[in-house]
Copies of this chain bind each other. A is one copy, B any other.
Amino acid sequence: MTDVRSSQPAAVDQRSGKRERLVSAAIRLLHQQGVERTTLADIAKAADVPVGGVYYYFKTKDDVVAAAIDAHARQSATALAQIEARERSPKGRLKALMKEFAAQSELLARYGCPLGTLCSELDKRDGEPSLAADLMRVPIEWAERQFRALGREDAYEQAIDLMAAYEGSALLANTLRDPGILTKAAERYNQWIDSL
């Protein structure tokens, strides 16, 4: 994955934290409004940075998006690592992931899955497998490791199946504005994990 940190000016942003605020605002707005409908002015305003000043920290809008994706990937990896450290068994880890999904059901029903909507939108934008594909691989590979630890030969297929169930449930929960779709799907998956 591209290291977006290298694109930041040298010896800059040590105190102000403006770049950090911009990335943080971008992550939130990209989720709520989508990539295409979020302007640099929106992001600058949310981060309390002068509108034109964004270009001091980033070369283009695409760079802002790339930085947001990169930061998001780190956040996801950290969250998954925390689950791995907290839960000892693969089953417990998978169930903890389901719990996280269910806990976000209200937000997901309102704005969709941050990861899923981003992948969907970036695919139209680039026309080629984008940075978002790497983002999607983070939870897939994590789940694959858990299934492999459970001794499943089809660990990759199971991981794909889990993420597909989650992403599909998030899409329907969002479209129909029904968080229950997500919580029920998580419950069902939990029962299935228990039955393994």
Contact = CB atoms under 8 A, between A and B. Distances in A.
Contacts of A129: 175-177
Contacts of A188: 161
A118 to B, nearest CB: 10
A77 interface: no
Nearest to A182: B164
A136 interface: yes
Contact of A37 (B36, B164, B171): B36
Interface residues of A, number: 40
Interface string A160-171: 110111111101
Interface stretch (A13-21, A41-49, A119-127): A119-127
Interface of A: 32-34, 36-37, 111-112, 116-117, 119-121, 123-125, 129, 132-133, 136-137, 157, 160-161, 163-169, 171-172, 174-177, 181, 184-185, 188
22 contacts: A32-B124, A33-B124, A34-B36, A37-B124, A111-B124, A112-B120, A112-B123, A119-B171, A119-B174, A120-B120, A120-B171, A120-B174, A129-B176, A133-B175, A136-B172, A136-B175, A163-B168, A164-B181, A164-B185, A167-B167, A167-B168, A167-B171
- 8 A-B pairs closest in CB distance: A168-B168, A164-B168, A34-B124, A36-B36, A167-B168, A119-B175, A164-B169, A167-B171
